[in-house]
């Protein structure tokens, strides 16, 4: 799968998911819709985990949340750079373009 197909697949999955921003509950038990945890609004729960928590499971939740929140900026930057490379390749056919 190339980068264009990967981004298309991620865009499709993101369009079906709860929009960001997301945050992790302070004790790592759940992922919430919003910039920060609001103990009075349980309607914002998106992912809830019960059972024993490990440092790894909390780190996994934090990683997923950061990816969701960073996704728009990362994709916009990647698409802009790809467009710039495409433009340079069109303007300078045969020249090596450093990326």
pLDDT at 99: 56
First and final C-alpha spacing in the chain: 20
Assess contact for 34 and 81: CB atoms under 8 A.
Answer: no
pLDDT at 77: 92
Assess contact for 61 and 28: CB atoms under 8 A.
Answer: yes
- Alpha carbon distance 33, 53 (integer Å): 20
Q: Which residue has the higher pLDDT, 53 or 67?
A: 67
Reported as a single tens digit per residue, the pLDDT across 20-52 is: 888 887 777 778 787 777 666 666 666 666 566
pTM of the model: 0.69
Q: Which residue has the higher pLDDT, 32 or 5?
A: 5
């Amino acid at each position: 799968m190339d980068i264009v197909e990967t981004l298309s697949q991620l865009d499709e999955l993101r369009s079906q998911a709860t929009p960001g921003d997301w945050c992790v509950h302070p004790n790592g038990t759940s992922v919430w819709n919003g910039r920060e945890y609001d103990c009075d609004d349980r309607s914002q729960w998106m992912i809830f985990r019960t059972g024993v928590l490990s440092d790894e499971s909390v780190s996994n939740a934090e990683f997923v949340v950061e990816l969701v929140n960073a996704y728009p900026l990362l994709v916009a930057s990647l698409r802009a750079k790809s467009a710039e490379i495409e433009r340079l390749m069109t303007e300078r056919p045969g020249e090596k373009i450093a990326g």
